[in-house]
A and B are shown apart, each in its own frame.
Chain A
Amino acid sequence: MSPTLDATDMSSLSLTTDDIRCQCQQDLERRQQAGSKLDVEKIHRYGAFVGSVVERHRSLARAMDYCRELIAATEGAGRSVRSGTVVFADSLNRPRGRFDRVWHAPVGGLWGCLIHANTLLESSRRFVPLAVGVACCEAVRELGGTQAVLRWVNDVLVDGRKLAGFLVEGHTGPCYGEEYNLIGFGININNSCFPAELAGAAISLAEVLGHQVDLSLFSRIFLAHLSFTLGLLSLVEDEQLREESLNQEGHPLLSRWRELSDSLGRQVVYGLDVMMKPQYQAFAADLSVDGGLILKFADGYEKIEHCGEIRYL
């Protein structure tokens, strides 16, 4: 159901729920062949909601706003939005990043939002932003961008330039009070012209690989990885509850994040809005068990930050 646009307003993106399921199956087999110690079949079953509905549009103002309208319109009709609904747009007319930052979203990139009806406990829900970053970084690497790394919390960088950014917003449905995570994604794929203020700070996957990328293929791979990482949160939560253990040390998502990130062991500047109001410099030592960034000061003391952002020095 589309609140403001007709669902036939199809984009050039070719992607269906079946495509995503097929890609998830391939991902499952690949991980099993690689000897994963995790129960990947069960994880993908938990994450199977991703891509339950796929909407594609030529253009939207903002994908997140559209998703809020979609939730309101669906609930207003006495139904619930299907968890895992993913909304794509070829371009966004009024995109924005965190705070009031400008975000450039022309044709060629992958722009959209996933609606996740929250079924996670708070201790797992806080990992959702990490899960989407890990999924994207793995997808970029799978297509050959092996130098892709994560900067805490979930920016995907190549050679210090931003390839992808994510914005996760909590949202409560207006009729039933259901909680959603709106997972907004902006990934530079074939769009290589950036506005002057982003020149040198942004990069596209096409630039990294030296050739155009099949946007539909990337979408499938990204969503299959997202199915895995979100499913992983549910699996670990389930195991912890059944074993009555609340110790999150060694959460496999955090282990994977560490493998993919270049943030740890670096001198960084931290701020809630680090671009406008940098707060302090410190050494990024590690992740805490709850995903916070452990920052060490020159005087030897530590501080754990659970939100905000960093830039490398």
Chain B
Amino acid sequence: MSNEIDFDEILSKYRSDPFDYVDVCATHTGTVTFKVVEGDDVQAPSGEWLQIPGTALYEINRERNPKLIAAQTNGVVSTVRTELEGKFVEAGERLITIKHPLKKKEIIENILKEVLYLFRAPERAKYFFALDVQSRIEKKGARAVTVDQGEEVLTMSLMKRDTPIYYSGERGVIHSVYFKPGVSVSQGEPLLGVCAPEKLPLIQKIITRVKADWDSE
């Protein structure tokens, strides 16, 4: 992590293009039928428990098992690979891109994700802090808790099979927690953002600067 950050350049980038471009990829192999066209508004899952699915994006059919895939983020469909309509695709093939308008909080998070060490989910599951870490967080707050390489930091829970997750990465304090207990996290998504204690002032500077320079929410 560099101590030198060109705030003007970063903020300028977000001012000129305050969007995330979220690629939607095939969940598995199968034949694709699109449900949206370019320019369509799409919505993320909603409801108190996110039980209302997002806008249907595409259907993928493998061995006569059709599966409707819904948007996980709101925004406008910027690209649809219409040449794949009705075609067989491999898992992971990019199908659609959604232009997602960023809020101030998301911009801060995006910048922080570039400077924090991100500890990612090994597989799609629900996560909670290991009991010892949880107790330290409750006493002192997450940003006063340091995690070390090899430390049992989280528990991954899937179908009542709990697996301890050991931290691998640079030693540091837990600055950002990206998961919520009871909410599934996809494989590869960040769980924790960790930074060395001496670099916390730099992180704070980023947050203060974005909050000050960014008008809208």
Contacts and interface: CB of A to CB of B under 8 A. Distances in A.
Interface of A: 98-100, 122, 125-130, 153-154, 166-171, 181, 245-247, 271-273, 277, 279-280, 291-292, 297, 299, 301-303, 306-309
B36 to A, nearest CB: 20
A272 B181 contact: yes
Contacts of A271: 182
- A contact face: mostly helix, strand, loop, or mixed: loop
B51 interface: yes
Q: Which of the listed residues B47, B48, B49, B125 has the most CB atoms from chain A within 10 Å of its own CB?
A: B49
Contacts of A280: 48-49
B169 to A, nearest CB: 17
A306 B161 CA distance: 10
Contact of A301 (B51, B128, B164, B181): B51
Given A99-B131, A272-B126, A279-B182, A307 B49 contact: no
Contacts of A126: 158-159, 161
Interface of B: 47-53, 62-63, 65, 123, 125-126, 128, 131, 156-164, 181-182, 184
Contact of A245 (B51, B53, B63, B181): B63
A307 B159 contact: yes
A306 B128 contact: no
A243 to B, nearest CB: 11
Contacts of A169: 161-164
B160 A153 contact: yes
Nearest to A68: B164
A272 B161 contact: no
A289 to B, nearest CB: 9
Nearest to A127: B159
Contacts of B160: 98, 129, 153-154, 166-168, 307, 309
